[in-house]
């Protein structure tokens, strides 16, 4: 088989890449090892995703997914407190597969595992896959790696990084010094972030904090004995609540993160990998059983064995790219203007690392915004998607060129989906003009992302510019041409299930908003720049807000203020 573009799948980025490549008029083949295409947003069960929650960052395929989910899920997406969105994995996967089926330029083959890549000079030329019975040989012009663990770099002998880098490497504020890396045993055993095998359960009780099940103060047995400290059982269960009382058990506090032998997935040893996966499965199943025990059976398995289709890998191999995104590139005080000019995707996750023991201390990367704290925005430059040793290879998932410290902010599903979209657009443009990624004019790529007909994606940061603004496209194009444009925020469009509520506002500070109605006191938040601008002038005034109440936050999410 010969195709212009081959996409190695399994991760969220592969979906975005294949979809955008096909939508841009270039035929591509997506090959996945499993039957689901959505990566961490569906197959891995991480369907209460973090990051890109504000409406200025809800662009591209990520924004398109949110809007389709809101139409498809009557209960709405305000279901938990770890995220501003919660949906069942199958709900997202249905949308993803519908998108794929609608594209005549996209062929998807599932159940095939990569066995070999051929390389001539600095070009990858072909791949061999196996489904356990037959082999599939594919020739291609360009290849996109959207695998969870960046497998192409092993098969094609492409230089990559794995694990920690010393502070001396890039002077990252949160990185350990070289002597600590060499002498502290922690860094020898915890080389990469710990993965989780998400467990999907269903809650059959009520959510009243005065219920007996929440007042009894039972504690799980070892090794989960501290998992309810300091939040308690109610907050543990509602952390990842999804529609229809499905629960995403992805609990970071002495929960089902798996800390044993984190290098096993990268070892190449079949037995070691199998033992690692088995240990992770059993650990998550045991975590569920402990919670089930202390709830008196009110927590049940959702379906099958409760485990997501695949593990949630927080870190992969990372290509040695033309540019490496470091922690400084994510921080608001050190925003790199050169990166902003070559940006192809925007993220804003605060940064988060998962290891056993206390939280790893990280440089602050959050700001008060809209009644809560939100991560500050950052850019992913196009040069982080490719290196010098495989000229026709683009990375589209967690394997982009970032440091170990920066990976804690760049690894989240919403951003990865849009990185994949940019990789797919770049591959299509390269295929159509017979050039390699390094030869692609960045402004042509950025303009194509802005003008994309189905899911336009913002390469440039502007926190006053919501995705729905009538001035969105023109403002992004002005930024493309280095022109500064003043932006006036606009009201959000209607959302399914929203309703109005009269309340008196108490705006203490940017991160403390409250609404009062009689004896009720509600925490308030917004994801909308227009509400943020208006509400600061309305302290101690009665207003009518439009939005939705999230009892698990708990918060009232305000979409609009009525005159």
Place of tokens 């195709």: 3
**Which tens digit of pLDDT belongs to each residue from 27-74?**
999 999 999 999 999 999 999 999 999 999 999 999 999 999 999 999
Residues 550 and 66: their CA atoms lie apart, in Å, by 17
**Which tens digit of pLDDT belongs to each residue from 202-255?**
999 999 988 999 988 889 999 999 999 999 999 999 999 999 999 999 999 999
Residue 260 above 70 pLDDT?
yes
Answer yes or no: pTM beyond 0.85. Answer: yes
Q: Please give the mean pLDDT across all residues of the chain.
A: 96
pLDDT confidence band for 267 (50 / 70 / 90)? very high
Across 36-60, b (16+ Cβ under 10 Å) vs e yields bbbbbbbbbbbbbbbbbbbbbbbbb
pLDDT confidence band for 332 (50 / 70 / 90)? confident
Residue 306 sits at the vertex; the CA angle it makes with 305 and 311, to the nearest 5 degrees, is: 105
Contact 535, 507 (CB under 8 A): yes
| C-alpha closest to that of 26 among 428, 433, 421 | 428
Task: Please name the CATH architecture into which domain 499-562 falls.
Answer: Beta Barrel (2.40)
Residue 336 above 70 pLDDT?
no
Coil, strand or helix at 315: coil
**Which tens digit of pLDDT belongs to each residue from 458-484?**
999 999 999 999 999 999 999 999 988
Q: Are strands 2-8 and 135-145 parallel, antiparallel or unpaired?
A: parallel
Q: List the end-to-end C-alpha distance of the chain, in Å, as a whole number.
A: 61
Residue ranges per structural domain of the chain: 2-160+315-480, 199-301, 499-562
Which CATH code fits 2-160+315-480?
3.50.50.60
């Amino acid at each position: 088989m010969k195709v212009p573009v081959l996409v190695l799948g399994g991760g969220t980025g592969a979906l975005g890449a294949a979809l955008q490549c096909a939508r841009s008029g270039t035929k591509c083949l997506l090959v996945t090892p499993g039957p689901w295409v959505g990566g961490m947003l569906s197959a891995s069960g991480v369907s209460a995703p973090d990051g890109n929650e504000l409406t200025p960052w809800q662009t591209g395929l990520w924004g398109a997914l949110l809007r389709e989910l809101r139409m498809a899920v009557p209960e709405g997406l305000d279901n938990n407190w770890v995220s501003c969105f919660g949906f069942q994995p199958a709900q997202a996967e249905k949308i993803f597969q519908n998108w794929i089926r609608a594209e005549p330029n996209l062929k998807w083959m599932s159940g095939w595992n990569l066995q070999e890549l051929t390389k001539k000079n600095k070009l990858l030329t072909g791949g061999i896959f196996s489904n356990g019975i037959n082999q599939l040989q594919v020739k291609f012009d360009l290849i996109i790696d959207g695998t969870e663990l960046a497998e192409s770099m092993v098969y094609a002998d492409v230089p990559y990084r794995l694990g920690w880098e010393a502070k001396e490497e890039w002077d990252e504020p949160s990185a350990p010094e070289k002597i600590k890396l060499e002498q502290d045993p922690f860094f020898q055993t915890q080389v990469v972030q710990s993965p989780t095998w998400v467990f999907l359960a269903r809650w059959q009780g009520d959510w009243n904090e005065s219920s007996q099940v929440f007042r009894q103060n039972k504690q799980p047995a070892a090794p989960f004995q501290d998992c309810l400290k300091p939040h308690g059982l109610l907050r543990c269960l509602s952390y990842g609540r999804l529609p229809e009382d499905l629960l995403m058990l992805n609990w970071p506090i002495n929960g089902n993160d798996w800390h044993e032998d984190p290098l096993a997935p990268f070892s190449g040893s079949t037995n070691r990998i199998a033992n690692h996966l088995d240990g992770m499965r059993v650990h998550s199943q045991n975590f569920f059983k402990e919670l089930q025990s202390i709830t008196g059976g009110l927590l049940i398995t959702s379906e099958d064995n409760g485990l997501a289709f695949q593990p949630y890998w927080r870190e992969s191999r990372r290509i040695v790219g033309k540019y490496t995104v470091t922690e400084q590139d994510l921080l608001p005080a050190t925003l790199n203007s050169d990166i902003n000019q070559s940006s192809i995707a925007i993220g804003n996750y605060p940064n988060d690392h998962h290891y056993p023991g206390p939280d790893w201390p990280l440089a602050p990367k959050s700001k008060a915004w809209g009644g809560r704290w939100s991560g500050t925005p950052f850019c992913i430059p196009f040069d982080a998607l490719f290196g010098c040793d495989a000229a026709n290879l683009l990375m589209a998932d967690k394997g982009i060129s970032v440091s170990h410290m920066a990976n804690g902010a760049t690894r989240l599903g919403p951003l990865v989906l849009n990185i994949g979209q940019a990789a797919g657009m770049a591959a299509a443009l390269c295929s159509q003009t017979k050039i390699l990624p390094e030869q692609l004019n960045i402004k042509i790529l950025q303009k194509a992302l802005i003008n994309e007909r189905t899911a336009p994606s913002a390469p440039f940061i502007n926190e006053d510019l919501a995705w729905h603004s009538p001035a969105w496209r023109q403002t992004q194009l002005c930024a493309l041409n280095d022109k500064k444009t003043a932006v006036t925020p606009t009201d959000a469009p209607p959302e399914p299930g929203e309703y109005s509520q009269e309340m008196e506002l108490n705006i203490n500070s940017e991160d403390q908003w409250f609404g009062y109605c009689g004896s009720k006191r509600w925490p308030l938040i917004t994801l909308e720049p227009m509400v943020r601008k208006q509400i600061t002038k309305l302290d101690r005034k009665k207003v009518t807000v439009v939005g939705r109440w999230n009892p698990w936050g708990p918060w009232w999410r305000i979409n609009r203020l009525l005159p």
